[in-house]
Structure 1
Amino acid sequence: MQAIAEFALPAVADISDAALTARLQHLLDNKTKPLGSLGRLEALALRLGQVLGTDAPALVQPQMLVCAGDHGLAAKGVSAFPSDVTWQMVENFLAGGAAVSVLARQHGLQLTVVDCGVARNVGPHEAPGTTRLLVRKVAPGTADASVGPAMTAAQCRQAIANGMDVVRSLPGNAVLLGEMGIGNTSVASLLLARLAGLPLADVTGAGTGLDAAGIARKRAVLQQALDVNAEATSPLEALAALGGFEVATLVGAVLQAAAERRVIVVDGFITSAAVLVASRLQPAVLQRCVFAHRSGERGHALMLAQMQAEPLLDLGLRLGEGSGAALAWPLLQSACAVLAEMASFASAGVATQTA
Structure 2
Amino acid sequence: MSAQSLQTEGKLLKETMKKICPPDTAAMEQCQKRWDSIAKPLHSLGRLEEVLIQTAGMTGSDEVHFGKKALIVMCADNGVVEEGISQTGQEVTAVVAENFLSGDTSAAIMCKAAGADLFPVDIGIARDTKLRNEKIAYGTKNMAREWAMTRAQAVCAIETGIRMAEELAEKGYEILATGEMGIGNTTTSSAVAAVLLEKPVEEMTGRGAGLTSAALKRKQEVIKKAVELHQPDRTDGIDVLAKVGGFDLGGMAGVFLGGAAKKIPVIIDGFISAAAALLAATICPEVKSYMLTSHLSKEPAMQMILEALGKKPLLTCEMCLGEGTGAVAIFPLLQMAEDVYKKMSTFGEISIESYKELK
- Aligned equivalent of 1:128: none
Deviations 1:98-132 (A, max 9, x none): 00010011111110000000001122xxxxxxxxx
Deviation at 1:94, TM superposition (A): 1.3
Matches within 5 A, 1:186-335: 186-233=187-234, 234-335=236-337
Deviation at 1:146, TM superposition (A): 0.6
1:49 maps to which of 45, 53, 56 = 56
SS in 2 for 1:62: strand
Work out the CA distance in 2 between the residues paired with 1:111 and 1:179.
Answer: 12
Bigger mean CA offset, 151-160 vs 256-265: 151-160
Work out the CA distance in 1 between the residues paired with 2:272 and 2:107.
Answer: 15
2:14 maps to which of 8, 14, 20 = 8
Inter-CA distance 26–231: structure 2 relative to 1 (3 Å threshold): closer
Question: Do the aligned partners of 2:144 and 2:226 also contact (CA within 8 Å) in 1?
Answer: yes
Question: Do the aligned partners of 1:177 and 1:271 also contact (CA within 8 Å) in 2?
Answer: yes
- Aligned equivalent of 2:28: 21
Work out the CA distance in 2 between the residues paired with 1:93 and 1:178.
Answer: 12
Work out the CA distance in 2 between the residues paired with 1:328 and 1:112.
Answer: 18
RMSD: 1.8
- Aligned equivalent of 2:165: 167
Work out the CA distance in 1 between the residues paired with 2:244 and 2:101.
Answer: 28
Work out the CA distance in 2 between the residues paired with 1:5 and 1:165.
Answer: 12
Deviation at 1:17, TM superposition (A): 3.1
Deviation at 1:3, TM superposition (A): 9.6
SS in 2 for 1:38: coil
Letter in structure 2 aligned against 1:10: T
TM-score (norm 1): 0.93
Work out the CA distance in 2 between the residues paired with 1:200 and 1:347.
Answer: 57
Letter in structure 2 aligned against 1:113: P
Deviation at 1:262, TM superposition (A): 1.0
Deviation at 1:338, TM superposition (A): 1.9
Q: Identity of aligned pairs, percent?
A: 32
2:346 maps to which of 339, 344, 347 = 344
Work out the CA distance in 1 between the residues paired with 2:253 and 2:159.
Answer: 9
SS in 2 for 1:174: strand
Work out the CA distance in 2 between the residues paired with 1:16 and 1:326.
Answer: 24
- Aligned equivalent of 2:137: 139
Q: How many residues align?
A: 345
Work out the CA distance in 2 between the residues paired with 1:112 and 1:3.
Answer: 26
- Aligned equivalent of 2:150: 152
Work out the CA distance in 1 between the residues paired with 2:164 and 2:28.
Answer: 31
SS in 1 for 2:295: coil
Work out the CA distance in 2 between the residues paired with 1:270 and 1:333.
Answer: 25
Inter-CA distance 353–260: structure 2 relative to 1 (3 Å threshold): closer
- Aligned equivalent of 2:40: 33
Structure 2: gaps (5+ residues):
1-6
Work out the CA distance in 2 between the residues paired with 1:238 and 1:153.
Answer: 9
Deviation at 1:21, TM superposition (A): 2.2
- Aligned equivalent of 1:180: 181
Question: Do the aligned partners of 1:173 and 1:261 also contact (CA within 8 Å) in 2?
Answer: no
Structure 1: gaps (5+ residues):
124-132
Question: Do the aligned partners of 1:232 and 1:241 also contact (CA within 8 Å) in 2?
Answer: no
Question: Do the aligned partners of 1:3 and 1:153 also contact (CA within 8 Å) in 2?
Answer: no
Question: Do the aligned partners of 1:4 and 1:237 also contact (CA within 8 Å) in 2?
Answer: no
Residue 88 of structure 2 is aligned to residue 81 of structure 1: yes
Question: Do the aligned partners of 1:167 and 1:253 also contact (CA within 8 Å) in 2?
Answer: yes
- Aligned equivalent of 1:60: 67
Bigger mean CA offset, 72-81 vs 218-227: 72-81
